[in-house]
Structure 1
């Protein structure tokens, strides 16, 4: 395993945390983000910073966009994937959008969006039952031609399901990220088994058309390390490319805290993990006291930003709460914040 002092990973570390959340749920009764916000994905579109994120209202996830002028202060723009109004649909409970097809997967390219067949595309997952991630989720796609990115159209059926998967993923699917390499699409995703105290690990599938996916025979490619900080979950992949190596910014979980990790690969199949978290959970009272997880990596103007979901125990005055936690979006960087 790589150590944090290894020169190969120094340029990927973001030790400086911004002390306040950059996005907080509304806390308004009945709002899509009444209970909290989650799963950031940051990109540049039409010369403005955008963040794709989810909100939780006590029933399920719905997905929205926020915009910013400085990457630190974000304003809600609009809901883009709510509950499918047709109650019989597979995504009628909600839709957790996690990734948009980017115009570059290089770490040091400021990511924008790429059109495929004249459309922008995103990937999302949906759970079958009301509640917090209740039931085994499946993965779908949605597209838009709207330059405001507000009018999205879903494919009728999921493009990827746990139903024909192996035991490690038959409890349901979570975050997917999609990259393009040598005219092939690669989708990395985490999934869980069916145990009551489940384990989450990360696998990969490939496709030539975005719609028909074939699992890698060596799944799961990124496995938990029993007894270590990633002993139960190795989850939420964020894959980028830099100088001949693929990077996966993931989160590990065991013994009460989720923390951000990093793994490297030269071929998208064989991965070497850094042995310690690259962003640890915070000290008591800090916004990420409980968890620092679910990465979105964004490079702009010489600065590397690592957005993530931060949670801590609810305090007096917090405007949102889910299961006793204040759940927000936070950011760290490779340079101090002024």
Structure 2
């Protein structure tokens, strides 16, 4: 891959094919809202849900998602036949009381390696040496994203996808990284291309009001990763821009010869979805404006519209994301005064709108 294929702002593509202006305007997945004082123990997603990853498996759609219960992240699966109505199957990366070490508090699964990277193909999972592979991150302390997280891998060889086995040690850490990632590592996605694995991840600085940017590491065996020397591959913009504090949560797919990164930007007020493009997975150019902005006051995504999972199905583009607004009476889950849920937008109107 060569830098001669870098995209300049003079030949940036029109963003229209990737815009999804029609919002479903209602949750498709919410936290359970089950309080710890009830007769049943709180579920892993009692306070909120986050980070959707939607894929096709055994003739139906699945969503890997992250839940929060006040202690830490855990991950679960939901299924759907139409991408709008989802049923939860239960947790797949759980907090294990007997587990010791770096990921005992919980695990946020964010990506499962796919057969195809193409936006035009159904996002099916790929078995490598007879196993499906999921990437996740874990924080060392109890609480909301408490302490510097590291990245690990889990595998599953059963087709119901409910039994995942975590490797004992992280495969990638902030501990031997640069200053821009010394505060810990967040969401990662792994792309297989040309005999190598490309792991895109976002990381933060150690400042109290930290900066998040996106980096790249490359591996041939999924276990040993080498940082790209040009990191971060996607940096925050200049002060005052909509993404001048965070450029986070990469979601990488290919459209023809062009690679797309659906990321989110943040300015300490609102998180909004953005788009960057590349010809070689190494050099990226961002669109200057948000692809999907936060909504109007009172709307489901009034505070944040972020953390994309994007796919095409039957000629339609679906953009799943985490929507956040201030909690309102009647919302099923309350996460520190916020209603944090998963919803979807599209390039075509929904029947219910």
Q: TM class, shorter-chain normalised?
A: over 0.9
C-alpha displacement at 1:244, in angstroms?
Answer: 1.1
Aligned-partner Cα distance in 1 for 2:58–2:100? 36
CA distance in 2, matches of 1:173, 1:311: 22
2:188 matched residue in structure 1: 176
Pairwise CA distance, 1:323: 1.9
Q: Secondary structure at the match of 1:263?
A: strand
Q: Is residue 2–residue 275 contact of structure 1 (8 Å, CA) maintained in 2?
A: no
How far does the alpha carbon of each residue in 1:125-146 deviate from its partner, in whole angstroms, 9 at most, with x for none?
0000000000000000000111
Measure how far apart 1:87 and its partner are.
Answer: 4.5
CA separation in 1, counterparts of 2:120 and 2:332? 36
| Aligned residue number for residue 137 of structure 1 | 149
Verify: 1:163 aligned to 2:175, yes or no.
yes
Counterpart position of 2:15: 9
Q: Which residue of 2 aligns with 1:211?
A: 223
| 1:73 matched residue in structure 2 | 85
2:34 aligns to what?
A: 28
**Map of 1:45 onto structure 2:** 57
The answer on whether the counterparts of 1:260 and 1:278 sit within 8 Å (CA) in structure 2 is yes
Q: Deviations over 1:32-75 (max 9, x none)?
A: 11100000000000001100001100000000000011101111
Separation in 1, partners of 2:202, 2:268: 19
Which of 289, 307, 310 in structure 1 is aligned with 2:302?
Answer: 289
Question: Is 1:315 matched up with 2:328?
Answer: yes
SS in structure 2 of the partner of residue 11 of structure 1 = helix
Per the TM alignment, residue 88 of structure 1 is displaced from its structure 2 partner at its CA by 2.3
Alpha-carbon spacing, 1:45–1:149, altered in 2? closer, same or farther (3 Å): same
Q: Pick from 112, 118, 123: which aligns with 1:106?
A: 118
TM-score w.r.t. structure 1 length? Answer: 0.97
Displacement of 1:2 in angstroms is: 5.3
What CA distance in whole angstroms lies between the structure 1 residues aligned with 2:98 and 2:18?
Answer: 44
Q: 1:109-159, CA deviations, whole angstroms, 9 ceiling, x for partnerless residues?
A: 110100000001100000000000000000000001110000111111000
Distance 1:18 1:134 in 2: 32
In structure 2, how many angstroms separate the alpha carbons of the residues matched to 1:9 and 1:116? 34
Q: What displacement does 1:243 show?
A: 1.6
Q: Which consecutive residues of structure 2, in runs of 5 or more, have no partner in the other structure? A: 1-7, 36-41
CA deviation profile, 1:247-276 (whole Å, cap 9, x unmatched): 000000004100000000111111110010
Gaps of at least 5 residues in structure 1 are none
Matched position secondary structure for 2:283: coil
Task: Within 5 Å, give how 1:236-255 maps onto structure 2.
Answer: 236-255=249-268
Query: 1:84: how far off?
Result: 2.9
